Structure 1
Amino acid sequence: MLQNCDARIYHRLLTIPGGKPVRYQAGDVICFQGRESCGVVVVSGADIKVQYISAAGRKYTIVQEDNYSGVLGEMELFSETSNHMLSVIAVNPVTGYQLSRAVMRDALVKMPDLALDFMTLMSNRYHSTVTQAMVNILYGLRFNALQRLVAQADAAGGEVFVISQEVEAERLGTSSRAYRRILKNLLDDGIVQRAGDGFRIANPEQARAELQI
């Protein structure tokens, strides 16, 4: 769903001439961390995940968004090296409209209101990315895993929720084996309980006490 400056930017960019249609299949990398940016890609209804890859090759999924409409690759527009800071991967087939750095810069010079929206967007994205990265760094795996489980339980209204252990491990930048070990500990401690093919928070008070929320 489009909101705030993302919506304004999305609709304005589609009117800028000089772009080209692009299509990505599931698993394709739209923006490749460390590689030179070709510009921005405007997408609608895209299922994507944003990843950071450490020097050791470990993948941290910063966020995974379903039905995202907006701009990808905006952080590199004014970078001296123009290399992507993060990777963006298509979860399902994605179609978009690509605008080169030169075309985008020219448009921002000619449309100050669009430039202001872009600055707001970049600031919000930077804050979100750094916040998530700091959480992964400062807190242990058990804390981060439990925090995500509680959030998913809340989203399910306290009812049973289903997770992919592989996806959760990827989001937390750890191995599936390490994640399964943490999940087993939470099950053994009675904080989390299996419920058919899903899970539920069996002891919400203990879970929130551990998270201090």
Structure 2
Amino acid sequence: MKPGEYLLRQGQNLEHLYWIEDGFCTVSFTAANGRRFSHGRFSVEDRLYGEMEFFTGKPIQFDIRCDSPVSVRVIPNADLEALLVQYPHVGIWLSQSLADTYQEVMDRMTSHFMYPLAYNIAKDLLLRELGNKPAIQFERVFKEAERFGCSERVYRRAVSQLIEQGFAEKRGRELKVANKDKLERYLAEEEER
């Protein structure tokens, strides 16, 4: 698939699943009021999309858009059903995959609810610095704000706070860790509050 094409569109019914062999995708949700939340841009390799909707029978929950050329295999629903009947261990693998995804998303969402925006931005920066998340940031501020579920103005205010406190700095169009030790102390203090 080409950059800009959608694998799945929010609100539509699932016609088939996609096995992504390689590429970059953005996962986002648009609320009825027009506000968008982006789960970010992901480097995807050997991952199935559409499995939640396959099992629940509900409409597609998120937009999944290609951000690069994406190598993909289309899996008709009926083929996956037959595969699960013939090879039950595939169902176990899918269950584990769904549980991992659920746990990851719940950890991220809980952090967004329980800690201030500046903390979540700082933690994201640190994870990128440590190599635990891909070193990819959107070049436009509104895209970064969408990843944290806030407006551009609120995002800029939180980033300014991190810069003023010496935790982060701007390098070109990217936000980077200014002082790793100081940033780690800040995160630990926020977690203890």
Report the counterpart of residue 53 of structure 2 in structure 1: 76
**So what's the TM-score if we normalise by structure 1?**
0.75
User: Partner residue of 2:82?
Assistant: 106
CA distance in 2 between partners of 1:127 and 1:55 (Å): 26
| Partner of residue 171, structure 1 | 147
Residues 92 and 36 (structure 1), Cα distance of their counterparts in 2 relative to 1, 3 Å cut: same
Q: Which moves more between the two structures, 39-48 or 176-185?
A: 176-185
Report the alpha carbon displacement of residue 200 of structure 1 after superposing the two structures with TM.
4.0
User: Residue by residue, what CA displacement relative to the aligned partner does 1:59-100 show, whole Å, maximum 9, x if unpaired?
Assistant: 22224222522211111112133x112221111122422122
Equivalent residue number for residue 29 of structure 1 = 6
Q: Which amino acid aligns with 1:170?
A: E
For 2:172 and 2:9, locate their aligned partners in 1 and report how far apart those are by CA, in whole Å: 38
Counterpart-to-counterpart distance in 1, 2:30 and 2:115: 19
Q: By how many angstroms is 1:189 displaced? A: 1.9
* 2:21 and 2:73 in contact (8 A); partners too: no
**Aligned to 1:84, what secondary structure does the other structure show?**
coil
Q: Tell me which residue corresponds to 1:180.
A: 156
TM-score, normalising length: structure 2: 0.81
The answer for unaligned runs of 5 or more in structure 2 is none
Aligned equivalents of 1:179, 1:139: Cα separation in 2 = 14
Residue 139 of structure 1 corresponds to 115
Q: Which moved more, 1:53-62 or 1:122-131?
A: 53-62
CA RMSD of aligned residues (A): 2.5
Q: Name the CA shift for 1:205/1:142 in 2 (closer, same or farther; >3 Å).
A: same
Aligned to 2:185: 209
CA 1:33–1:113 in structure 2 vs 1: closer, same or farther (change >3 Å)? same
Question: Percent of counterpart pairs with the same letter?
Answer: 21
Q: 5+ unaligned residues in a row in structure 1: which ranges?
A: 1-23
Q: CA deviation at 1:198?
A: 4.6
Matched, 1:56 2:13: no
Q: Is the 8 A contact 1:43 1:68 kept in 2?
A: yes
SS class of match (1:27) = coil
What is the alpha-carbon distance in structure 2 between the residues aligned to residue 106 and residue 188 of structure 1?
58
Distance 2:31 2:11 in 1: 11
CA deviation vs aligned residue, 1:17-67 (integer Å, no higher than 9, x gap): xxxxxxx32122211222211121112112112223334332222242225
How far did residue 165 of structure 1 move? 5.0
Residue pair 1:162, 1:197 contacting (<8 A) in 2 also: no
| Corresponding position: 1:155 with 2:127 | no
Q: What code does the residue aligned with 1:135 have?
A: S
Cα separation, 2, equivalents of 1:113 and 1:179: 44
Aligned pairs, number: 185
